[in-house]
Structure 1
Amino acid sequence: MRTLHVGLRVADPDRAVAFYTAVGYEVVGRVPETPAGQLTMLKLPDDDVVSVELVFDPSAAHRDRGTGLSHLVIQVESMDATIADLRTKGIEVAEPESPDGSADFLTTWITDPDGNRIELVQWPAGHPDGLTAADWS
């Protein structure tokens, strides 16, 4: 088994797509009508598959869309370059911090227009893509 993608409820699909494409996601496809609502499939340039699905249900406009999601995590190659790029696009980015005090392992946070929190991570050189059991040994 493996995680296929994360579905995020959004209040305005156009606003959400504008935000996520500014972050660097690409629209892979759209499904206009499903029982869950309108779906927009996104992936990052280095991904082969969809990793985020934006879900817009116009009949559920009154509901809290962020319920149940803590955050999603995106790996970046260069924290400095990513922060500079996002800020030029008007996206607020928190100052990066290092969980272990090193200069090459950095994390920071952004928030999408619907209040979903996104953690940006720059792994140290040689670290595998993603977390492994070695991170807790």
Structure 2
Amino acid sequence: MSQYRLLHTMLRVFDLDKSLDFYTRLLGMKMLRRTDYEGGRFTLAFVGYGEESDTAVIELTHNWDQAEPYVIGSGYGHIAIGVPDIYGTCETLRAEGAKITREPGPMKHGSTVIAFIEDPDGYKIELIERK
């Protein structure tokens, strides 16, 4: 077994409160820690489904003086999250105003049932049904 482990994925977010609500309330992650760096004028907030000691998490970086939303680079792909009932999950997310960019259904060239949503900053998140 490798001594290496994925620790986190960092996303720059424009509105930290909106992003925290999305990842914690709508996607069910826990707020693990949050630190404000007054001298650097930024906040780091870590969210995830488990503790950082044994699971990969997401680092939300909020630069206080960012005047415009970030432009997402063409190299970014997506974050993938496993869900037990993709159709029910998408109904709940839609009712909460989440943007569903690909309705749930089987992959074009396979049988895995997936959907895509976007967070408040436009980052793509793939939902994969895992029964």
TM-score computed with the length of structure 1 as normaliser? 0.75
Identify the structure with the greater helix proportion: 1
CA distance in 2, matches of 1:64, 1:92: 18
Which whole-Å deviations, capped at 9, do the CAs of 1:26-79 have from their partners, x for residues lacking one?
A: 2111011175820111012xx333511110012343473523532111111111
Using a 3 Å threshold, how does the CA distance of structure 1 residues 80 and 30 change in structure 2: closer, same or farther? same
Unaligned runs of 5+ in 2: none
Question: Partner of 2:65 in structure 1?
Answer: 59
Runs of 4 or more consecutive aligned structure 1 residues displaced over 6 Å after TM superposition? none
What letter corresponds to residue 95 of structure 1 in structure 2?
Answer: E
Looking at structure 2, the residues matched to 39 and 110 of structure 1 have their Cα atoms a distance apart, in angstroms, of: 23
Q: Give the percent of matched residue pairs that are identical in Structure 1 and Structure 2.
A: 31
Contact in 1 for aligned 2:32/2:51 (Cα 8 Å): no
Letter matched to residue 78 of structure 1? D
Would you tell me which structure has more strand in proportion to its own residues?
A: 2
2:19 to 16, 24, 46: 16
Find out whether 1:41 has 2:49 as its counterpart: no
Q: Please give the root-mean-square deviation of Cα atoms over the aligned residues, in Å.
A: 2.3
One-letter amino acid of the counterpart of residue 41, structure 1: F
Structure 1: which 5+ residue stretches go unaligned? 126-137
